[in-house]
Chains A and B, each alone.
Chain A
Amino acid sequence: MRVSGREEGLRNLFVRGLAGDDAAYHAFLQQLAGFVRGYLRGRLARIPDEVEDLVQETLLAVHNQRHTYDPAQPLTAWVHAIARYKMVDLLRRRAGRDAMHDPLDEDALFAAPDEAAHDARRDLAVLLAQLPDRHRLPIVHVKLEGLSVAETARLTGMSESAVKVGIHRGLKALAAKVRA
């Protein structure tokens, strides 16, 4: 009961976020971070240092691929598939096959949130600084400093559509850098 209640509450926030409610989307990502952290911490007990990096990578993937969510589909299944994909991808990159013996069950995803974020080892701000200007400047001005798209366009000399495209592609480029 508690798990399905969480699913309903989170799904509601996410669907409102997809419709353009940024505050609901912020609350969704914040709560999701706790659930993903709890889920990964249980499964990556042998490599606890990697958990926060993977939480961040999963959140970035959820954001970049949010257009693939179908509101008719259970949110648990969608998030779980992404979190598991990113976890298996990490383990493959580490070639650490021993950790894969742990069972990967999706019921456990919304079971116990873990709100205590540890420091990530890899700093996304450092990776962000390595992006080319056409990606980096729109993200820094709009997403970090909170300027509007129009203000950023004036400041950088880019067109407004180039700013929007720069944010979109830049966040994908950031996700690609995480895997590199």
Chain B
Amino acid sequence: MRTDQLVAMLARGAGATAPGAPQRRFAAALAGGGAAAVVLMVITLGVRPDLAEAPRDPMFWVKLGVPALILASAFAGCTRAGRPGARVAAAAATLAVPVGAIGLLAALALASAPPGTRGALVMGGSWAACVISIALLALPVFAGALWAMKGLAPTRPALAGTFAGLLAGAAGALVYSFHCPEMAAPFIASWYLLGIVVPAAIGGLAGRMLLRW
């Protein structure tokens, strides 16, 4: 087939293309995967028993806000990583806001705590369960985000997979925070962030293998 024949074939009956495909795909991945993660959390872990009173503690909102802001950055990063030639640096830079904020709160909490209690502030009572649960609750959105990315055109597959994993990790942390009773900033800064980083790292490896086109 000559190139002009190919051009004629591609153009014939091509029709209109709806704009905003990246946003729609990742919104669908987030809605479907997020709903599945909520169901998974409620059934296997259960909502924290003091959920009615918890919102009075500002730390409850910090614990929601950190993953929510990471989620927003990751969403912007995902839609850009799926568009050839779009810049992702600005989206990546906004990650500094939630990470910096929780790091600062954690440092302040540790500085003002009596010396013997600092270890407990970091380790809490459930650090291992926290990391594992966030990574597992991330799975539904992880699958959805890879599906969404696969339908786009990531020219940097590892980077695209990392953002997809970050989106999934942030969603998992957000859902997990409705189960988890831990309220110390050093705990959140350590284990919530690690729970988010694990899916992001796996996403980078998966992207390298699965997102080529």
Q: Please report A residues at the B interface, Cβ cutoff 8 Å.
A: 17-20, 22-23, 25-26, 29-30, 33, 37, 52, 55-56, 59-61, 63, 65-71, 73-74, 76-82, 84-85, 89, 117, 119-120, 123-125, 128, 139, 142-144, 146, 148-149, 167, 171, 175
**Complex interface bits, B183-213 against A, C-beta within 8 A gives 1, otherwise 0:** 0000000000000000000000000000011
Check if B1 sits within 8 Å of A18, measured CB to CB: no
Check if B82 sits within 8 Å of A22, measured CB to CB: no
Q: Which residues of B contact A84 (CB under 8 A)?
A: 155
- CB of B10 closer than 8 Å to a CB of A: yes
A20 to B17, CA, bound (A): 7
Check if B14 sits within 8 Å of A22, measured CB to CB: yes
Give the size range of B's interface with the partner.
20 to 34
Task: Across the interface, name the chain B residue whose C-beta is closest to A125.
Answer: B1
- CB of B86 closer than 8 Å to a CB of A: yes
Interface segment out of the listed B18-26, B40-48, B57-65: B18-26
Q: Which residues of B contact A59 (CB under 8 A)?
A: 3, 6-7, 10
Give the shortest distance, in Å, between B9 (CB) and chain A (any CB): 5
Task: Across the interface, name the chain A residue whose C-beta is closest to B156.
Answer: A85
**Complex interface bits, B76-114 against A, C-beta within 8 A gives 1, otherwise 0:** 000000111110000000000000000000000000000
- CB of B56 closer than 8 Å to a CB of A: no
Give the shortest distance, in Å, between A105 (CB) and chain B (any CB): 14
A173 to B1, CA, bound (A): 17
14 other A-B residue contacts (CB within 8 Å) besides A23-B11, A85-B155: A22-B11, A22-B14, A30-B7, A60-B10, A61-B213, A67-B21, A79-B84, A82-B153, A85-B153, A89-B212, A117-B2, A124-B6, A143-B13, A148-B13
Residue in contact with A68 in the complex, picked from B9, B11, B15, B153, CB distance below 8 Å: B153
Check if B14 sits within 8 Å of A70, measured CB to CB: no
Check if B17 sits within 8 Å of A18, measured CB to CB: yes
Q: A18-B19, A65-B152, A68-B22 are in contact. Are A30 and B4 (CB under 8 A)?
A: yes
A121 to B56, CA, bound (A): 70
A79 to B11, CA, bound (A): 17
Give the shortest distance, in Å, between B157 (CB) and chain A (any CB): 9
